[in-house]
Amino acid sequence: MTDAPIDPLVIIELTNLKASGKIEDLAKHPSLAMKPEWVEELAQHRDFNVRESLAQNPAIASSPEVIQTLANDEDWYVRYNLAQNPALANYPDVIRTLSADQDPNVRFNLAKNPAIASSPEAIQTLANDEEWYVRCHLASNPALANFPNIIEALARDSNYNVRSWAAENPVLGDFPHIITKLSKDRSKSVRSSLASNPAIPTSTASNAQWNTQPARTAPTI
């Protein structure tokens, strides 16, 4: 694979940001990969705000050592920002590491990142997470398109919030048996979420919506 051409104007822009002390802006720059030595330098920066900005920059995709460093950063918000980075798609080992992070906020952010599709083990870990809100974000993640067993398990979750988020997943259209189950869910919230999902067949959505209406009572004579 050949390297992308170096744009001298971009290099000048990056140099000016560094020279003027706008380090956070430098860490966020989409073309930062043109200066890989700076990427490595910023990953070790003493200011956690700089590392946080770098962690969410897709430009770090070509720097595996930097991604690994950030995944082990002592600042939880650095790891939190990294967890939402689409660059993780090429780093299933890092995804697996973050899926077991001690901070639930990191796991929560990772669970909604489509990049997790590259790590089946991490998806399984997140599906069993003790925090229901982590499972919620996983349940609505389109990355589950190739993991029907996971989305089916989340559609049976004991927490109705998780089932509601599963009902909103845009990939549900490919799983009619899960749709049928959710359309009969005991929770009105779950049925309502399913009814509003544009991926659901109209007839099923109508039935689910009908099931959200309060039951009629006999008139008092």
Contact 130, 108 (CB under 8 A): no
DSSP 103: S
Mean pLDDT of 73-85: 98
pLDDT digits (tens, 9 = 90+) for 83-140: 999 999 999 999 999 999 999 999 999 999 999 999 999 999 999 999 999 999 999 9
141 and 194: one domain?
Answer: yes
pLDDT digits (tens, 9 = 90+) for 35-74: 999 999 999 999 999 999 999 999 999 999 999 999 999 9
As a whole number of angstroms, the distance between CA 27 and CA 60 comes to 10
Look at residue 18 and tell me whether its pLDDT is greater than 70: yes
Residue 139's contacts (CB-CB under 8 Å, 6 or more residues apart) are 151, 154, 155, 157, 162, 163, 165, 166, 169
**Percentage of residues in the chain with pLDDT exceeding 90?**
80
> How many CA atoms lie less than 13 Å away from 209 in the CB half-sphere?
11
Domain that holds residue 27: 12-103
DSSP 197: -
- For residue 141, give both structure tokens: 């993640």
Task: Give a yes or no: residue 111 inside a domain.
Answer: no
Tally of domains within the chain:
2
99 and 18: one domain?
Answer: yes
Task: Give a yes or no: residue 165 inside a domain.
Answer: yes
pTM for the whole thing? 0.85
